[in-house]
Amino acid sequence: MRKRQYIELKELDVSALLSKEKDLLELLFKIRFEKNSGLIDFKIQYKNVRKDIARVKTLIKEKQTAQTAGASKG
């Protein structure tokens, strides 16, 4: 994921990020399936998708934490 794509993800709300996470998990499943079929170069693509999932999960956690901190102050 390039820096520009990460910045675009930071602008999304939690529900959109959860949907993006679901899409990435489905993609990860497809990559595993194709690996077992011998159709793709597994390591690079698998590694990149796992990193993207981690980035999305981090953003979700940050936004949820910010929402609860904002709610407790308000």
**pLDDT by residue (tens digit) across 4-31?**
888 888 899 999 999 999 999 999 999 8
**pLDDT by residue (tens digit) across 46-63?**
899 999 999 999 999 999
Q: What stretches of the chain adopt beta strand conformation (E)?
A: none
Rg value, the chain, Cα: 15
In the chain, domain spans: 3-73
Please name which of 44, 55, 49 lies closest in space to residue 23, comparing C-alpha atoms: 49
Q: What pLDDT was estimated at residue 40?
A: 64
Q: Which residue has the higher pLDDT, 69 or 19?
A: 19
